[in-house]
A and B are shown apart, each in its own frame.
Chain A
């Protein structure tokens, strides 16, 4: 039967704890998405905003103090470019993403709903098995977003699906409610796109082991767009 509630007394083996927090200077959109993530991840912990500009190795100590072994850290530059760091503490790796196309759970067009802290199914695109870096990222995503079985704060139901799809060399995240077991779904949110930048070997330190060749820094992107727009006048023939 799919609606018999399983006892929560069964053993809790998978002890993942994720620290979800941000640096100072994050915009309202990032803050709301962060709040949404906390509400769907029963195994997350929060922390006040950290003031830091250069040295991220302090984050390891913060995670250790809060007894966490994973970090989701949002960092905003220039109040418009949001970066997401995913790290496994203390031995790494760390993955840095640029977050694009943010949409929060509060948007009105998303009609689904799920229990707070229920466990998600994690759905991955087959492309995640093609390359070693995608495989590594898949494992990190599984460990961070998968709520452990019989976690004290979680609900004993599996009623939503988190999908990760690679399109255009970026990871697209969607969250769906399972309405019917035959496969009818309703989107809950939040939604965002993760553009991979690089992977470090250790947590917030260590050597670089992967760089995305297709990554264009947002600053450069804006610069190129501006240059292109000005060309219109340079090439004008009188």
Chain B
């Protein structure tokens, strides 16, 4: 047996991390940054799993619900602030611009959803 070298202890230089944070921190008004830190909102309908739950990473439904709730909390907090800053969240109906997904792709999604629905109905 070969003697194993003792492993180098892992580095966690908290002072350097904090200093770096202070160095790169972008000190601009919230409108420029648009960052929010939220806990997921809790509604009566679904019992929200605790984030500490170890099975959460493997439980798709619970986990996605958590992300969704967190995004909702952010939206609810940010919309009034955006209104104060006079930033638009909805585009007018006559505002045309390129979308992240193309129209043909969105059409495919719609067809897929319809097909899946009718498939399930056919099976029953």
Residue pair B24, A123 in contact (C-beta under 8 Å)? no
Q: Could you tell me if A3 and B91 are in contact, using CB atoms closer than 8 angstroms?
A: yes
Which of B34, B90, B91, B106 is within 8 Å of A122, CB to CB?
B34
Q: Are B76 and A183 in contact (CB under 8 A)?
A: yes
Query: Do residues A167 and B20 form an inter-chain contact, with CB atoms below 8 A?
Result: no
Q: Are A14 and B95 in contact (CB under 8 A)?
A: no
The answer, yes or no, to whether A120 is at the interface (CB within 8 Å) is yes
Shortest Cβ-Cβ A-B pairs, 3 listed: A123-B74, A132-B17, A168-B57
Q: Which residues of A lie under 8 Å from residue B112 when comparing CB positions? A: 108-109
Complex Cα–Cα for A105 and B105 (A): 10
Q: Within 8 Å of chain A (Cβ to Cβ): is B82?
A: yes
Interface size on A, residues (CB 8 A): 79
User: Would you call B33 an interface residue if the criterion is a C-beta within 8 Å of the partner chain's C-beta atoms?
Assistant: yes
Chain B residues near A142: list those with CB within 8 A. 26, 33, 35
Q: Does A115 contact B (CB under 8 A)?
A: yes
Q: How far is the CA of A148 from the CA of B26 in the complex (A)?
A: 12
* Interface pairs (17), CB distance under 8 Å: A2-B90, A6-B88, A36-B100, A115-B100, A116-B97, A116-B99, A121-B36, A124-B38, A132-B14, A139-B24, A142-B35, A163-B70, A163-B74, A176-B68, A181-B89, A185-B71, A209-B16
> Which residues on B sit within 8 Å (CB–CB) of A67?
none
Q: Contact partner of A124 among B37, B89, B97, CB < 8 A?
A: B37
A113 interfacial by beta-carbon distance below 8 Å: yes
* Interface flags, A142-161, vs B, CB<8A=1, else 0: 11001011000001111101
- Whether the Cβ atoms of B33 and A146 lie closer than 8 Å is yes
Spot the interface stretch: A51-59, A88-96, A230-238: A88-96
Contact A185 B68 (CB under 8 A): yes
Question: Is A228 an interface position by the 8 A CB rule?
Answer: no
Q: A108-B109, A113-B101 are in contact. Are A92 and B33 (CB under 8 A)?
A: no
Cβ-defined partner of B70 (8 Å) among A2, A3, A6, A123: A123
* A126 CB–B CB distance under 8 Å: yes
Bound state CA distance, A190 and B71, in angstroms?
Answer: 15
